[in-house]
Structure 1
């Protein structure tokens, strides 16, 4: 489907490189040809019936479409723009979802953070955003049933994490798929249900919205620890006493940085990872955790990884730049001219006092332009100095708030 031109929602779209593939669908990036200024979108194209898959493929499309339409409007759930059929395939028409295009996934953040783990700012941000998404969809009666790092993505436009991929979702009490959740993020009751289904034994186990809390608990523990936990959560010791293992993980992390007030997060994760689904915290209860009352500042790595319409330029200005107002204005004009090559500039701000003295903040109309500028300007020489670039949270910039401690 890549490089094809399709019509959807009364507009022409050029389908570009694939962003990811699953067992039943491929996701592509698409650009609007009818309105060149429109932001790019994502196209999730389901394989046509007969392409090595049963005719129930149409059912998978209809199920995900129905879920996204009913859950439309929540800021932490991917937005469905519309649906269409693609008839360009020789194997027959394929069903497609036109979705908002999101940015970096938690899976990519985990790779980037290696063994260090994500910052508490990112972990808290992700936890709150996805718990709010779960609280909403559980209230609507839905179970996501496939929560994992690849299905949590950052939205640069709305500056939040969003939940995607509702291919395994179902209405609570009406589970229509035998096997749910991904290995390593599967709740104990789902593990047992999947095993019973494989052996042909029906009934006895009912998976509820609690399976989503388990999966998110594992994701957040991976974000905090920087470790892939698949082998750990599947070992007998975890099943016997996961609370002690969580304590050990947090104790080890505190030795690295004892200043991190992490015990509220530890207690939150224990409540989400209770083996008994009846005792597991709901999304609504988890959102009441005191962990969410602790203010954190982003690390420099966060501002490099999470795109924003605001680009921060470092190592451009020094104290001498502020001594002459005329010279200062000339430098700013040069910076503005260079930055405008990559998109329309909404505003440009240079603090003249600490914190942030000498930093240059450039706000673009969208994160795409900001990302293009970041890629082009990072490491470039400006007035004899190598430019360092990071993104910056749009909400903080709009409030005029400059983080005083960025690690």
Structure 2
């Protein structure tokens, strides 16, 4: 599986198919991610290619025995590490799907290794930006917390630690209507930690912070990082989703280290938090259970899933439905009762709606219930969530009639 013409033409060959490179999605120190779509099959779901890019070779003396491996070796190691993790964790609905691997022989700096992945939608980081410092809805927080905990329970059971859980690495799957974990570049098997510098500032557990500091000083930590570091990170993510605030400086403050519980209480009691009117004690207690400084007292993912917080039925806000697209578009207040009662008028409007909706992509199915539940609403299923999202922008507020 190889062959790519990244530069001259935005096409690549992978898994026996030709893919168009549509846009860059992001880049890090050793890898770049691109949105791709399968050529010749408009119904095929788009994908994402993560390319581990070797840096340009630098002239210089030969590497000394025992010296740090060159960056090219690091790129190959990162590829092998993430591939192994994704292959062993394949099949869980809350973990990004690996479709396959291939080599890009046309990279400017020599052959590069690539992962072809499921394309996901909006990240929790982007959702926090949209929340305008008011916090996410309780429905969204609950949905995200449950999905991520399900993923963590699975990968911890497999012996893995994610080790870089943060808002940018939790993405919404519009096709499956759930949150998924991505980026396993720092993951490791518990008891076999091969990377000392784990997690990201602001989401780093105390034991990982200590380990990092000791490693910088050339010392060995007596405490190993375990799956508990992932629960700490998730606790911070949920606290940020509730408050709508980035908490990096808060969790690095001396006040937090002295009494984090009091700061959490203060956040939940704040008048500036939209959710403060909702009895959120269960969420507060769930977050506290993840943020014990002593990793031995931190809740496991399986135990956290038993929290009473998950027994509360929250309904999504209209903003949630707009921000978290799905392949199914729901239009409200589109038809009058009179249109529903007249069969001929109903059929004409149905055809008009189908014709209008098909302007934005292939329509898989269309339903307009004549009775409750859903009476008068229009449900349009598109082949993919991108088409649904485009249609929603243009059709929301539009009224159809037979005149």
* TM-score, length basis structure 1: 0.89
Match of residue 65 from structure 2? none
Alignment of 1:66-105 (within 5 A): 66-105=84-123
Give SS of 2:73's match: coil
Deviations 1:14-63 (A, max 9, x none): 22210111111110011112544311110000112546834221111100
Deviations 1:235-264 (A, max 9, x none): 111111111111111112597456523111
Match of residue 48 from structure 2? 42
- Segment of structure 1 superposing worse, 356-365 or 15-24: 356-365
Give SS of 2:288's match: helix
Match of residue 29 from structure 1? 35
Pairing partner for 1:5 from 3, 11, 17: 11
Question: How has the CA–CA distance of structure 1 residues 365 and 356 changed in structure 2, closer, same or farther, with 3 Å as cutoff?
Answer: same
Pairing partner for 1:170 from 185, 188, 191: 188
Distance apart, 1:75 and its partner CA: 0.7
Partners of 1:132 and 1:283 within 8 A in 2: yes
Match of residue 212 from structure 2? 194
Give SS of 1:278's match: helix
Note if 1:20 corresponds to 2:26. yes
Deviations 1:46-97 (A, max 9, x none): 1125468342211111000000011111110000011111011231011100
Q: Which runs of 4+ in 1 moved over 6 A?
A: none
Partners of 1:49 and 1:56 within 8 A in 2: no
Segments of 5+ residues of structure 2 without an aligned counterpart are 1-5, 59-70
Question: How has the CA–CA distance of structure 1 residues 253 and 140 changed in structure 2, closer, same or farther, with 3 Å as cutoff?
Answer: farther
Deviations 1:126-185 (A, max 9, x none): 101100100111111111000000000011111110000000111111111121101111
Match of residue 62 from structure 2? none
- Segment of structure 1 superposing worse, 168-177 or 249-258: 249-258
Distance apart, 1:318 and its partner CA: 3.5
Distance apart, 1:326 and its partner CA: 2.8
Deviations 1:180-224 (A, max 9, x none): 101111111111111111111123231111000000000011111
Q: Aligned residue pairs: how many? A: 384
Match of residue 283 from structure 2? 265
Distance apart, 1:381 and its partner CA: 7.4
Alignment of 1:7-406 (within 5 A): 7-33=13-39, 35-50=41-56, 53-252=71-270, 256=274, 259-322=277-340, 324-352=342-370, 356-378=374-396
- Segment of structure 1 superposing worse, 33-42 or 296-305: 33-42
Q: Supply the distance in 1 between the matched residues of 2:361 and 2:74 (Cα, whole angstroms).
A: 45
Match of residue 399 from structure 1? none
Q: Supply the distance in 2 between the matched residues of 1:12 and 1:85 (Cα, whole angstroms).
A: 14
Match of residue 405 from structure 1? none
Distance apart, 1:319 and its partner CA: 4.3
Distance apart, 1:336 and its partner CA: 1.4
Distance apart, 1:382 and its partner CA: 5.5
